[in-house]
Amino acid sequence: MAGQGIERREILRILATAAAAAQFPGFSKWVFACGHVGNVALQIKPAMYRPQFFTAAEYAMVGRLAEMSAFNPVSPVRKLYCVAEFIDFMVASDPGVQYNFRTGLTGLNADCERTLGKSFAELSPDQQTSPLEPLAHKARPGEEDNRRFFSAFREITLIGFYTSEIGFKELDHPALKLYSVSPECPHKDDPEHLYLSRVNS
Amino acid sequence: MARQIYDVIVIGTGAGGGMAIKTLCEAGLKVCALNAGRRLDPEKDFRYHRMPWDMKFRGLDDPKRRAESYGYMDNEYTKEAWEHEIPFTTAPGTKWMWPRCFAVGGKTNFWGRSSARFGEIDFRAASLDGYDVDWPVTYDEMAAYYTRVEKMIGVASTIQNRPSNPDGAYLPPMNFRCVDRILEAGAEKVGVPYLPDRIAQLTQKHEGHPACHFCGDCTTGCDVGAFFSTPYFLLPKAQATKNLEMRTNALAKNILVDENGRASGVAYIDRTTKQEVEVLGRAVVVAASCVESSRIMLNSKSRHWPSGIANSSGQLGRNLCDHLYGESARGYLPQLLGQPSFPDHVSDSTIAWMPRWQNLKDPHEERFIRGYSVYPDGGCLDFPWYANGLDGFGSSLKREIKRRYPTPVNFTVQAPSLRSDTNYVDLDPEVKDPYGIPVARLHFQWDENALKMWEHSKQACAEVLRAAGGVLEGAGEAPEIPGYSLHETGTCRMGNDPKGFVTNRFGQTHDVSNLYVCDASVFLNCTDKTTTISILTFSMRTSEYLVENFRRGEHQAA
């Protein structure tokens, strides 16, 4: 079965290890449910999303962590992306990861209280970055449990984001277009691509 | 009322069955085709133009099905097409993945489309290296069939003059992307070929089929038919002759025999009524795919054939081979950091290949015999899978993900296993499917030769990547499990000696002259090439031989 790029397998592996969904509560903004009736997406009317797994306090913390994990650490954009809904849906659907997510949130809160005197939610946006810094860098020694939790959390956040329309647009994902001819490298005079202009490096 | 007797009953509608059906119907024979699943409705079943966020599970799958999923190919885009009702078992110590598509067209609905011819180096491999036996055919006698198939299905590639890869009749190739140009330059430095793949993807209009629109989702089906599949390319031509009766949801149970032990029809289970049905024919073609064909024939026991039909040699089900697949290397190309995104995904990854370059001058120059091929890929693909290997979080992480998006590359090895007495298919004596039919039991281990190829490919691909200026980040820890490639071969091998082979050189069983096999089970091994185009080619030849036998009066026509 030549032609199966590693990336498809990889995303499935990631999703399999990260979380799963056993039921579909209906996301409020960025997901349409498809009943597989015809090739037409059956849109579920937006509804107030009620967390399926996390408590209200946990859910708020999840939302903030999602913003910080993959978006802007100091400028909340939760209402735009709603990745917290995706995370809750996935965790609610996968009993195998629920313990780790719940204890991970608890552990992070405990560390914040021990080191900064406040729970994570009570910290200012600027202060909230400091407990995450050691967790987000593999090379740094630190709390192994919290780092594993944050790694899993970051992973599921990225899945939620980069399978969303806004994630595609941010990458300028080529699947947003179709092509009349097989696209060809435009740098024929530079086969090793050693002299490309650096537009975003 | 007399029961209808068809000229030929064909079991299976994939590459082998589809070619047989078309060939036989166009020759004027009345054909009854049995297909174990339903017809796909492209409008309903091919969802490849939906974006992930339009799918309930982002295109992945309902996690409730995780335990039964076949992995990457069996997702929300394709899930109703893959077979899950009919189980199989594995012997202790065997791991086997057996994705089956029982829908009309079989796996041609979703195949990888790489379409290289087998060559004389493959057919004469045993003479070259002393292992096993040669194929009972030569490249010269197969070449014209390959050409006809290539023109029929449309294969895009270039003339490459490679000793292990005969050239053919090609459409314009897929163009090389930036990642290809860079890796090509690296491969040239270390003496490894990096060339356009032979890919059955229409780079221009062909035989009434539209050109590809390069959406990049081929392996979830194509509702315009811009790559070969039997429902788009072969079955409509058979239907047009009015010589075809297609029976769907018809799960073949066993081949019926007459008082002389010759094939007289097929018993099947109508999966909609759960009833057993018999259909009669003057000849039978088995083309249910390698393992399933063996299962059907092993289940076809009678007083004439107590160990399965056409099994006097005892070789039915034996000699199972497969392609070892694995990630030989992965990394990224720093030259492309921060570059604008590029449509690298347009072929679902078979734009380029690194065709076998080992053991070409001397069959024993490496620590393994024969050879393997590699499929490189990379660039801006479906998901930034490299993100989990990056440090950081927040805006800086996203910037790095974007910066790296055009750069990742990976290499997948395709290494053939060798024939072995210990790799085979039999019937599980204790387990039956929901219809009471004994299930297939797989016995399989990777051989030392294939594992040496796997290790060799890791070193070779790392060298290519480094020579291209790339950064090597790792390789797969282990090969994919057997069955993953969907390229199983053997189990009904062809050969001239009735004592050692199930079929003769035309795919006609030695024991039962009106029973033919038209899938990869007749292949002696799986070579370093993919199987589909060779299944089509051998099936065309077998089917024309069958037609000729009808004309000679060996199988009386209706």
ipTM of the complex as predicted: 0.85
CB-nearest to A199 from B66, B73, B339 is B339
Residues above pLDDT 70, as percent of chain B? 99
Lookup result for tokens 């080992």: B358
Nearest-Cα distance to chain B for A55, in Å, is 23
Contact B51 A162 (CB under 8 A): no
pLDDT of A33 reads 26
Residue A74, pLDDT score: 58
Chain B interface disruption, residue of A8, A13, A89, A200, most B CBs within 10 A: A8
Interfacial B residues in 436-465 facing A (CB < 8 Å) = none
**Distance of residue A74 Cα from the nearest chain B Cα, in angstroms:** 9
Sole residue written with tokens 């000699």: B319
Please name every residue paired with B90 in a beta bridge, in sequence order, or none if there are none. Answer: B442
Residue of B nearest to A6 (CA): B410
Write the DSSP assignment of B514-540 as a string of letters: TEEE-SGGG-S---SS-SHHHHHHHHH
Beta B275-286 vs B323-332: how paired, if at all?
unpaired
The rounded percent of chain B whose pLDDT value lies above 90 is: 83
Half-sphere exposure of B379 (CA within 13 A, CB side): 32
User: Chain A closest CA to B44's CA: distance in Å?
Assistant: 4
Chain A residues within 8 A of B213 when measuring between CB atoms:
178-180
**One pLDDT digit (tens) per residue for chain B, 558 residues:** 678 999 999 999 999 999 999 999 999 999 999 999 999 887 778 877 788 888 777 777 766 677 778 877 788 888 778 899 999 999 999 999 999 999 999 999 989 899 999 999 999 999 999 999 999 999 999 999 999 999 999 999 999 999 899 999 999 999 999 999 999 999 999 999 999 999 999 999 999 999 998 888 888 888 889 999 999 999 999 999 999 999 999 999 999 999 999 999 999 999 999 999 999 999 999 999 999 999 999 999 999 999 999 999 999 999 999 999 999 999 999 999 999 999 988 876 579 999 999 999 999 999 999 999 999 999 998 889 888 888 888 888 999 999 999 999 999 999 999 999 999 999 999 999 999 999 999 999 999 999 999 999 999 999 999 999 999 999 999 999 999 999 999 999 999 999 999 999 999 999 999 999 999 999 999 999 999 999 999 999 999 999 999 999 999 866
Judge whether B475 and B462 are in contact, CB under 8 Å.
yes
Closest B-chain CA to A137: B391
**Domain architecture of chain B: domains with CATH:** 5-49+70-551 (3.50.50.60)
Residue B8: predicted pLDDT: 98
Which residue of A6, A28, A30, A195 to mutate against B (max B Cβ within 10 Å)?
Answer: A6
pLDDT of residue A46: 43
Strands (E) in B312-372, as ranges, are 323-332, 352-353
| Token pair listed for B411 | 């290499």
The 10s digit of each residue's pLDDT in A131-142 is 888 888 765 565
For A179, which of B71, B341, B346 is closest by C-beta distance? B346
Integer Cα distance of B421 and B398 in angstroms: 53
**Residue B452: which region, alpha, beta or left (left: phi > 0; alpha: psi -120 to 50)?**
alpha
Domain range annotation of chain A: 17-171
Residue B134 CB coordination number (10 Å): 15
| Cβ proximity of B331 and B401 under 8 Å | no
Report DSSP state, residue B13. Answer: -
* Chosen from B337, B382, B484 to mutate, greatest number of chain A CBs within 10 A: B382
| Predicted TM-score (pTM) of this structure | 0.91
Q: Report pLDDT for B137.
A: 98
Identify which of A80, A93, A105 has the alpha carbon closest to the alpha carbon of residue A28.
A80
* Contact yes or no for A2 and B375 at CB 8 A: yes
